[in-house]
């Protein structure tokens, strides 16, 4: 497989076509002189096909403002999602179709500071670009609401969701209805709260093993998904007289 050059589908297509023609012409000229024990063109094609099936895994850490997206997961054509925008950008940079898998599938309007995903590229894909250069290209390609924080080769066996040790979600609450416009996307103006009752409810659930089967989609596989009994740590932090943050880690 010819080595991919630099940055742009036109140069890659041109290089591939030229190399392909050169290889076929060379094979035609040398065929009569080829010793019988040398590999044939069909043998080389088989090895190349095997190489194409080999993949390497990449990890990616993201931050995003989910306000203007219909959630993380890709949907039908015309529906703008975070995964859809990310995969379009990765396809431009890596020059082949990319399918990502995220550690979480956040809903519409949900933001992230450290969403993790992984994707695979063919083993033969090669580039002189370092991780830092790939990261810069990705940042220039993605929409402003979606930031690539880190990118790199993942260790063998890595899976964005199944390799996750824990996840933390935060819920910002305002007990005042006076919420400035630049806070509105990241805070819920819920009005007055009974903090004593809220703390009592949190203590009931905090650190308690619970069966979460009711939250599954019904396709639960123990060997793949792990146990349905999980423990969640809950913490309520008062940031200001009218600002609360609820942290849930599981």
- 232-244 as b/e, with b when 16 or more CB fall inside 10 Å? bebebeeeeeebb
107 has catalytic annotation: yes
Both tokens of 48, joined, read 């190349």
Most distant CA pair in the chain, distance: 90
H or E segment to which residue 15 belongs: helix 9-30
Q: Which of 74, 117, 127, 50 is nearest to 96 (CA)?
A: 127
Q: How far is CA 58 from CA 3, 79, 133, 248, in A?
A: 19, 26, 15, 28
Contact 210, 229 (CB under 8 A): yes
Contact 217, 190 (CB under 8 A): no
Catalytic position from the list 31, 43, 68, 107: 107
Q: How far is CA 71 from CA 2, 172, 214, in A?
A: 38, 19, 22
Measure CA of the first residue to CA of the last residue in the chain; give whole Å: 45
The catalytic site residues sit at: 107
């Amino acid at each position: 497989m010819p080595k991919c050059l630099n940055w742009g589908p036109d140069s890659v297509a041109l290089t591939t076509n030229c190399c392909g023609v050169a290889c076929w012409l060379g094979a035609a000229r040398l065929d009569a002189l080829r010793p019988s024990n040398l590999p044939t063109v069909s043998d080389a094609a088989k090895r190349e096909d095997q190489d194409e099936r080999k993949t390497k895994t990449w990890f990616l850490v993201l931050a995003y403002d989910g306000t203007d997206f219909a959630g993380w997961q890709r949907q039908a054509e015309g529906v703008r999602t975070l995964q859809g925008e990310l995969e379009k950008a990765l396809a431009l940079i890596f020059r082949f179709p990319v399918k990502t898998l995220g550690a979480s599938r956040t809903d519409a309007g949900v933001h992230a500071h450290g969403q993790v995903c992984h994707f695979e590229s063919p083993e033969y894909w090669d580039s002189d670009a370092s991780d830092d250069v790939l990261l810069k290209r990705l940042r220039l390609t993605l929409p402003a609401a979606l930031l690539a924080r880190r990118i790199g080769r993942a260790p063998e066996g890595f899976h964005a969701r199944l390799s996750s040790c824990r996840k933390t979600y935060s819920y910002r609450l305002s007990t005042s209805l006076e919420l400035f416009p630049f806070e509105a996307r990241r805070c819920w103006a819920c009005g007055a709260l009974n903090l004593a009752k809220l703390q009592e409810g949190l203590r009931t659930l905090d650190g308690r093993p619970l069966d979460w089967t009711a939250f599954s989609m019904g396709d639960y596989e123990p060997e793949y998904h792990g146990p349905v009994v999980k423990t969640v740590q809950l913490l309520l932090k008062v940031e200001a007289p009218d600002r609360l943050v609820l942290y849930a880690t599981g």
